[in-house]
Amino acid sequence: MIAYCGLTCDSCPIHLATIEPDIGRRRELKESVVRQCAELYNMDLRLEEVTDCDGCRTGSGRLFSGCMNCGIRKCAIRKNLESCAYCSQYPCELLREHFSRDPGSRNTLELLREKS
């Protein structure tokens, strides 16, 4: 599961908390999300606001609020893209800003671009 922006859902603490059966560990993961959102995105998020998420490309309806309001996600959906890797404007300013916070996502998108 790869998000439009190149984040890997399998390593995302929001998604990991969603699938975690242990309540204590689930809470720890959500607390980690609150810290990371504050540090990386300057988001003032409370623990109870960390909702379940099946990934930004899922149709299940379970989507983290930060993903729901993501400009990158909205743009990719508007352009009917499977991933930003396939966009003719790659990398746009939104992605460059995102890459500054998560360089691994750039590597993921670059690999997708090489395969296409």
Q: How far apart are CA 86 and CA 105, in angstroms?
A: 14
Q: Are 13 and 113 in contact (CB under 8 A)?
A: no
63 CA to centre of own chain: 10
pLDDT cut 90: percent of the chain above it: 61
Place of tokens 């590597």: 107
Higher per-residue confidence, 68 vs 87: 87
Does residue 11 surpass a pLDDT of 80? yes
pTM: 0.84
Does residue 70 surpass a pLDDT of 80? yes
Q: Tell me the per-residue pLDDT of 32-51, one tens digit each, with 9 for 90 and over.
A: 999 988 988 888 889 988 88
CB hemisphere CA count around 7 (13 angstroms): 22
Torsion, Cα of 49, 19, 112, 74 (10° steps): -30
